[in-house]
């Protein structure tokens, strides 16, 4: 449960901030306990219309009233934003959702050790996300618990004990929804080519992902066994999987996820300097 007396400031009020704020409000945190800083007027308007929170155009002394600061801006803009906010947030617990930016960089810019870095994903918008979390050594058990409450409004979460593993989390689940949507696009398009209507193909494809995901979660058995159960000897699934194997689909996924993990590390190196 979120402590309704806490107060949380968001720096950046886009997709991810909106997902977390929506979840916090649903959990009973009053809108008056949340504030947002976003340099973009449309983003500010959207947030106050949809969530009834106060949105500021720039950082300022008002941030001193917020014991938790959530950083939900792009890696490219993080350093400038952190350095401008630093004088007002030195007593806070910091939670970053930015891809790549290391807690060492944040420590340098913010002058604080109380930093948790995280990697959520967009199903957080409906409370069905999964988030990887990494706490710097200066984060207390109580701070971890507060962050866990925030992460839980987005869905499930997993703590990792080494920071570099967040690159792997980013490659797998942070970017992962895009891979699923890509497969949905492909499967739906072929369903239509095979004669289904777009609505039918969409429903069949989406329900297949939801059902297979739920089955994989509920089952004691690994995905490989569940796959074999679908695959009758000489049947249709075998015909499809053979094409995937011959086309090297697993190897492509391996390369794709490793490219994402590399990019996460590169973002840190590129935008986390100095």
Ligand X SMILES: NC(=O)C1=CN([C@@H]2O[C@H](COP(=O)(O)OP(=O)(O)OC[C@H]3O[C@@H](n4cnc5c(N)ncnc54)[C@H](O)[C@@H]3O)[C@@H](O)[C@H]2O)C=CC1
Contact set with ligand A1CAB (CB under 6 A): 99, 170, 174-175
Q: How far apart are the first and last CA of the chain?
A: 38
Residue 116 binds which entry of ligand X, ligand A1CAB, none, CB below 5-8 Å type-dependent: none
Q: Does 155 bind ligand X (CB under 6 A)?
A: no
Rounded Cα distance between 127 and 143, Å, is: 22
Q: How far is CA 236 from the centre of its chain?
A: 36
- The only residue of 55, 70, 72, 261 in contact with ligand X, by rule CB under 6 A: 72
Pairing of strands 129-135, 68-71: unpaired
Q: Is 212 annotated as a binding residue?
A: no
List the single partner that 98 binds among ligand X, ligand A1CAB, none, CB under 5 to 8 Å by kind. ligand X
Of 215, 211, 191, nearest in space to 201 by CA: 191
Assess contact for 142 and 135: CB atoms under 8 A: no
Which one of residues 2, 8, 16, 125 is an interface residue with ligand X (CB under 6 A)? 16
Q: With beta carbons less than 8 A apart as the criterion, state whether 22 and 157 touch.
A: no
Tokens 């308007």 -> residue? 45
Yes or no: say if 249 and 242 are a contact pair by the CB < 8 Å rule. Answer: no
Taking residue 216's Cβ as centre, other Cβ atoms within 10 Å add up to 13
Binding mask 24-53 for ligand X (x = CB under 6 A): -------------xxxx--x----------
Residue 15 annotated in ligand binding:
yes
Regarding 81 and contact with ligand X (CB under 6 A), the answer is: yes
Give the residue with the Cβ less far from ligand X, 105 or 121. Answer: 121
List residues binding ligand X (CB under 6 A): 11-17, 37-40, 43, 72-75, 77, 81, 97-99, 119-122, 174
Question: Which residues belong to the annotated binding site for NADP(+)?
Answer: 11-16, 72-75
- Known binding-site residues equal 11-16, 72-75
């Amino acid at each position: 449960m979120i402590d309704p007396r806490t107060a949380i400031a968001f720096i950046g009020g886009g997709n991810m901030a909106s997902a977390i704020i929506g979840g916090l409000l649903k959990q009973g945190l009053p809108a008056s306990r949340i504030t947002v800083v976003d340099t973009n007027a449309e983003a500010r308007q959207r947030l106050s219309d949809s969530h009834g929170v106060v949105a500021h155009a720039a950082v300022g002394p008002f941030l001193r009233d917020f014991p938790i600061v959530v950083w939900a801006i792009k890696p490219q803009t993080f350093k400038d934003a952190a350095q401008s906010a630093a004088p007002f947030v030195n007593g806070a617990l910091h939670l970053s959702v930015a891809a790549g930016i290391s807690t060492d960089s944040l420590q340098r810019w913010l002058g604080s050790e109380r930093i948790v870095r995280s990697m959520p994903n967009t199903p957080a918008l409906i409370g069905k996300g999964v988030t990887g979390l990494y706490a710097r050594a200066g984060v207390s058990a109580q701070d971890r618990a507060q962050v866990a409450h925030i992460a839980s409004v987005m869905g499930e979460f997993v703590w990792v004990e080494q920071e570099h593993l967040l690159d792997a989390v980013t490659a797998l689940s942070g970017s992962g929804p895009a891979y699923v949507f890509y497969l949905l696009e492909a499967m739906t398009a072929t369903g239509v080519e095979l004669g289904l209507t777009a609505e039918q193909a969409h429903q069949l494809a989406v329900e297949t992902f939801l059902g297979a995901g739920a089955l994989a979660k509920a089952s004691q058995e690994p995905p490989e066994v569940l796959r074999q159960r679908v695959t009758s000897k000489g049947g249709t699934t075998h015909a499809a999987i053979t094409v995937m194997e011959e086309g090297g689909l697993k190897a492509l996924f391996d390369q794709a996820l490793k490219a994402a993990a590399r990019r996460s590390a590169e973002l840190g190196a590129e935008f986390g300097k100095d």
